[in-house]
Structure 1
Amino acid sequence: MAIEKMSLINLIGNMDDLDQTLLVCLRSGYFHPEIAIHTTEPSHGFKILEGENLWTPVLSSLRHLASDLEIDLHETDFDPDRFSLETVTSFVEGLEGQSTELAEQKRSIKENILQHEQALIQLKHLEGLNTSFDDIFACRYVKSRFGRLPKDSFAKLSYYDDRKFFFFPFDHDTEYYWGVYFAPATKAGSIDDIFASLYFERIYIPDYAHGTPEQAYKNLTDVIESEKKKLAEVQDQIDALKKKSENEFLAHYCAAAFWHKVYDMRKYVAVLNNRFYVVGFVPAAQCESFRKEMDVIESVSFVAKPHDADPSVPAPVKLKNNRFTKPFEMFVNMYSLPSYKDIDPTSLVAITYTLLFGIMFGDLGQGLLLSLAGLIFYKWKKMNLGRIMIRIGFSSAFFGLVYGSVFGYEHLLDPMYKALFGLHEKPVEVFNTNTTNMLLMLAIFIGVTLIAVSICINIYLGFRDKDYERAVFGHNGIAGLVFYLGAVFAVSDMMLLNTGIVGLPYILVVLVLPLLLIFFKHAITAVLFHKGKPFPNGVGEFIIENFFELFEYVLSYLSNSMSFLRVGGFILSHAGMMAVVMSLAEMVGAGASPVVVVIGNLFVMCLEGLIVGIQVLRLEFYEIFSRNFEGNGKPYEPAVVDYTQNA
């Protein structure tokens, strides 16, 4: 709809009131801070306020405590004035004494269990060994190495029959042999090198494994069960401590996060002679309420100015849209946020994206299913894309009614058309030859219309900014619009209309003259508005450079228009893919037919829905945005506290 109007706010006051001032800025929820030292106004002589944030250590400790106690961090009711750095630090120290020991016990027990379970896996493969580990490791003159050998390497052991080692396999699968090799203690180093070259992976038997592998496995299983009981007891103690302290903990945490953010905002503050200077933006609609909040601080001077009062501080951009168009801000931000002086293209994107997707993916059943999927994504996953899916799904369903398509059944709605409208068949028969030609022509017409609208927007922006080269002589200005529409009419007249209007005068005035204006736009602007020399680098370079530019512009008019053929192409593609699904359903017989129809519909929805979504987005970015949208806007980021950050 529009870009929110902003006001530039200057705050100057005594250093004693700095924290209170920053607190008001933060509590408002809509103050966008700027680094005061970067401004050109009363910041001369001011220096940026430096210093360590004293709340950082205690906030970090609180987040570690939340992790130890498994507390989900979120905002709760609290009064920041009740919590000082000393009170929060005291609370943290008291709670750490109880939680740290429990958390350490829990970590230690879990590490032991993990270590034991890994040992069990290895012992399981060694159950073929009937000798005690204690006897093997007690040997003084023979070294043993337990582990696993790749199957390919096991076959190569015969190459080393002359070496003094023995390998005994106990178990194997499709990839490895598990076993042990023995070697004389004096030759152990060289034998280890041989097995390393064969990619032998050693398994270290834990010191607490005694007896045969089978006995060690049983003993270790008992140890794991005992450790799990200890873990459950420690977890119960942690849960009890969490239940006892969670509410108080969250209040202290939120207060610490709040004051940490207040102190963090000091990096935007400039100071001079015990006076501070704060600069930022607030939406113009909230300017008066923000002034009233600041009036309670007597030493603070509040000055509200127009957004462009200080050229060194560009105003941030906050898009303002209604419920229907707001989800499409995601696509605008994906391309680039508009600058403050631009117009918000979200409404145009919302309308064109919704219509184009529906036209290209028209199916009543699949469209409603797409909307349902979008609703689920939005309600349960909080995905903004889900809100877009709801809208384009209904558009798809509407055009599905026009095409008469319901989950690929092309004539299911024929009785409804006859009862309501007296039609003997659906309004649009996609596979009819005449209809196919009409759809492709309609796609070109849609493309021409959208490109013309984009050029008109660019013309408006050019006149608004008094950039007449852009508005009048540019390829996306009046000259470009006249040439483009004139060329479209000329082609239409020769192929369809045959009005006889297109002759030499038409060609000279409507086609050649605009091209000449575009070709000489820099020179004309320089002469008319005294903006430098007409040919700054010489006539020759001017001609060569502008010739290739003009050639590129003319080519872009053609290619951009032809890009919209994909709109008609995907109408045919969708109908064709569903026809294939229905043919397969008929081939498999009545029993498996419903399964094929369901799977086929899901496949087409996922594959073509994704492709159509990307293709429409491409049309938005390359054929529409590129003609009038400069971007490079600075996002509006008011100072707020994020209470959900975990350690």
Structure 2
Amino acid sequence: MIAKMTQYSFILLHGDKEQFLSELQGLGVMDITRASKPVDTRSQSLLDNIRTLRDDIACTEKGMDDTLAELLATRGALERELAEAEPWGDYDRGRLAVFGLHFYRVASKKYDPAWEEQYAIQVVDRDEKEDTRFVIVGDDAGFPLKELPAPKRTVAELKTLLQEQDEKIDAHRKILEARKADIPQMRHEIRVLENELDRYLAATAAVPAAEDTVDTLVGFAPTENDAAVTEYLDQAAVYYVKSEATLEDNPPIELKNNKFVKMFEVLTDMYGRPDYNEFDPTPYISVFFLLFFAMCMGDAGYGLLLAIIGILLRKSDGMKSLAPLVTVLGIGTFVVGIVMHTFFGVDISQLAWIPSWLKAVMITGTIGGFEAQMVLSLAIGIVHLCLAMVVKTVYATRNKGFLGSLGVWGWTLLIVGGVALGTLAMLSLLPAGVVKVIFIVLGVVSALGIFLFNDIHRNPLKNIGSGLWEAYNTVTGLLGDVLSYLRLYALGLAGGMLGKAFNDIATMTLGDGSFGFGWFTFALILVIGHALNLAMCCLGAFVHPLRLNFLEFFKNSGYDGKGRVYNPLSSNNN
């Protein structure tokens, strides 16, 4: 849910601004509207210092920086030069001119022994599968090959240079290792600079008044913190006015959700936080993204692996924040995979040792001639879209009032009511005659809202035209939206078939089943095959459920997601 915000307007003397913001930063709950990027040379300098420190930390943690990269590149060049020089052997460069040596190299299969009758050739190195290196002593006029430049450095010189380069690399690596002890201090310096930059940008947002003698600032804080904020401001002896924030004030958005839903806030932020008068989509995303992800994976074995990976990620500093989400997605995939009766590509519904109570929850067979899992995907899609329309209706009524949202009510009654009636009729819970009467009533009431009262302040003829256009877009759009949910079935089916294919290929390598190389190949194909399939399934299971939520659900729920994130001034110097 979206946390309620209180707006605070401050008036303070120009000279007190920095001190006030510094103290406000210590409070840690006040969001002062400020620029999101550097506004002048000072803020740019602070940002550059922060970036430099972050780069230093990254280089130190991975044991690599520009200097070491350059040293390693030089060593690589020396190694390549040595590889070229070694076949020629060691020699005295001063004597090359005396003998008049000319260097050549040719593929061994193209070397012509007849050359030795015309020129003074000495073969230096021959590899029958690769090249032959040779020199011509004296005159090489008319020789058909292009002469190679003589090695610039001898083998002995290159080996000495390589040894010196290795010593430089070892010395620099020791320096980088020693710098790891400075990482906590560098992180502390980053936080100090970030606080200073944050405070400076907030100060530049102040509006001068009364010939630059006073400044005005506007900030927002969660209403639940109002008592602490008011107590602090009263002690600070600053003049302020507070009021309940409204949409026109463009307050920042702070989401308040339980631990389970909070894991999925990262997905909401990928699209955009809601406006102050919108709904928080995270609770809906948490349920349906988990379900859609699990259906796209469709394999209990892969779910088990994901859950284990999520548990292991808790020990990783960089991925620790995502570990709970990965674990939950893995558990969800395991449960849905059992229902879809697939475990590492094996159809477990066909296994005799699976208990009957577990087989009872597995979705198999067909419904009306169609695969039961495909029908389930479409049914879930219809529920998802109906929920979106209900949410849109609720929030439209809250923001515009009942009379201002009659058009939305019309579509919701027609579609959601029609789906509900159709379901009751299919289950024979209502007589056909009753269903027909109710549907006619729903149709008439819905038509009034859709075509006549979609805007009670507008000419009815314009409303009819607007309603017809909206009807065309809604009907054609809904059909495509519902069919989009077939991808849940298709992706799960594709992953399962590919997993089964890897199992079959691996089984073919066993031969007669005797212990030997076949078992090694069997294990190798299974590990590599299922690892690749897991990676591809994860990619598809992330992108497509995200699309179903961001496009189909958000479009039909009227969600815009143009709110700004709550970003309070705070001190994090610990």
Give the alignment's TM-score, normalised by structure 1.
0.66
Match of 1:281 among 214, 220, 236: 220
What is the CA distance between 1:397 and its match in structure 2? 2.0
Separation of aligned partners in 1, 2:343 and 2:299: 6
Show CA shifts across 1:191-219 (max 9, x none). xxxx9xx9x9x98987xx4xxxxxx2312
User: Is the 1:170–1:177 contact (alpha carbons within 8 Å) kept by the matching residues of 2?
Assistant: yes
* 1:413 to 1:328, Cα distance in 2 relative to 1, 3 A: farther
What is the CA distance between 1:464 and its match in structure 2? 0.5
SS at the partner of 2:479? helix
> After superposition, where does 1:72-83 map in structure 2 within 5 Å?
none
Separation of aligned partners in 2, 1:366 and 1:69: 33
User: Is the 2:272–2:563 contact (alpha carbons within 8 Å) kept by the matching residues of 1?
Assistant: yes
Q: Tell me the residue number matched to 1:290.
A: 229
User: Is the 2:31–2:221 contact (alpha carbons within 8 Å) kept by the matching residues of 1?
Assistant: yes
Could you list the runs of 5+ residues in structure 1 that have no partner in the other structure? 37-49, 73-105, 156-167, 182-194, 210-215
Separation of aligned partners in 2, 1:256 and 1:147: 61
Q: What amino acid maps onto 1:326 in structure 2?
A: K
Q: Tell me the residue number matched to 1:222.
A: 160
What is the CA distance between 1:463 and its match in structure 2? 0.8
Q: What amino acid maps onto 2:433 in structure 1?
A: I
Does structure 1 residue 389 correspond to structure 2 residue 363? no
* 1:358 to 1:290, Cα distance in 2 relative to 1, 3 A: same
Does structure 1 residue 550 correspond to structure 2 residue 471? yes
User: Is the 1:493–1:499 contact (alpha carbons within 8 Å) kept by the matching residues of 2?
Assistant: no
Q: Tell me the residue number matched to 2:200.
A: 263
* 1:305 to 1:587, Cα distance in 2 relative to 1, 3 A: same
Show CA shifts across 1:216-237 (max 9, x none). 2312322443455466567768
* 1:178 to 1:480, Cα distance in 2 relative to 1, 3 A: farther
Does structure 1 residue 322 correspond to structure 2 residue 258? yes
* 1:239 to 1:550, Cα distance in 2 relative to 1, 3 A: closer
Please, what is the CA RMSD of the aligned residues? 5.2
**How many residues are matched?**
537
What is the CA distance between 1:347 and its match in structure 2? 0.7
What is the CA distance between 1:410 and its match in structure 2? 0.9
* 1:441 to 1:24, Cα distance in 2 relative to 1, 3 A: same
* 1:558 to 1:177, Cα distance in 2 relative to 1, 3 A: farther
Q: What amino acid maps onto 2:199 in structure 1?
A: V
Does structure 1 residue 605 correspond to structure 2 residue 526? no
> After superposition, where does 1:188-207 map in structure 2 within 5 Å?
none
User: Is the 1:110–1:231 contact (alpha carbons within 8 Å) kept by the matching residues of 2?
Assistant: no
* 1:502 to 1:511, Cα distance in 2 relative to 1, 3 A: farther
Identical positions, percent: 19
Q: Tell me the residue number matched to 1:7.
A: 6
User: Is the 1:15–1:276 contact (alpha carbons within 8 Å) kept by the matching residues of 2?
Assistant: yes
User: Is the 1:483–1:514 contact (alpha carbons within 8 Å) kept by the matching residues of 2?
Assistant: yes
Q: What amino acid maps onto 1:617 in structure 2?
A: L
Separation of aligned partners in 2, 1:255 and 1:507: 65
Separation of aligned partners in 1, 2:98 and 2:46: 52
Q: What amino acid maps onto 1:289 in structure 2?
A: A
Separation of aligned partners in 1, 2:241 and 2:150: 73
SS at the partner of 2:243? strand
What is the CA distance between 1:459 and its match in structure 2? 0.8
User: Is the 2:382–2:482 contact (alpha carbons within 8 Å) kept by the matching residues of 1?
Assistant: yes
Q: Tell me the residue number matched to 1:451.
A: 385
Which deviates more from structure 2 when the two are superposed, residues 493-502 or residues 273-282?
493-502
What is the CA distance between 1:369 and its match in structure 2? 1.6
* 1:55 to 1:611, Cα distance in 2 relative to 1, 3 A: closer
User: Is the 2:31–2:568 contact (alpha carbons within 8 Å) kept by the matching residues of 1?
Assistant: yes
* 1:572 to 1:265, Cα distance in 2 relative to 1, 3 A: closer
Q: Tell me the residue number matched to 2:19.
A: 20
Q: Tell me the residue number matched to 1:514.
A: 446
Does structure 1 residue 484 correspond to structure 2 residue 376? no
Does structure 1 residue 472 correspond to structure 2 residue 406? yes
Q: Tell me the residue number matched to 2:553.
A: 624
Match of 1:500 among 425, 432, 443: 432
Could you list the runs of 5+ residues in structure 2 that have no partner in the other structure? 111-122, 137-144
Give the alignment's TM-score, normalised by structure 2.
0.73
User: Is the 2:5–2:222 contact (alpha carbons within 8 Å) kept by the matching residues of 1?
Assistant: yes
Show CA shifts across 1:118-164 (max 9, x none). 2553354245668755577999xx9x9x9999x9xxx9xxxxxxxxx
SS at the partner of 1:514? helix
SS at the partner of 2:19? helix
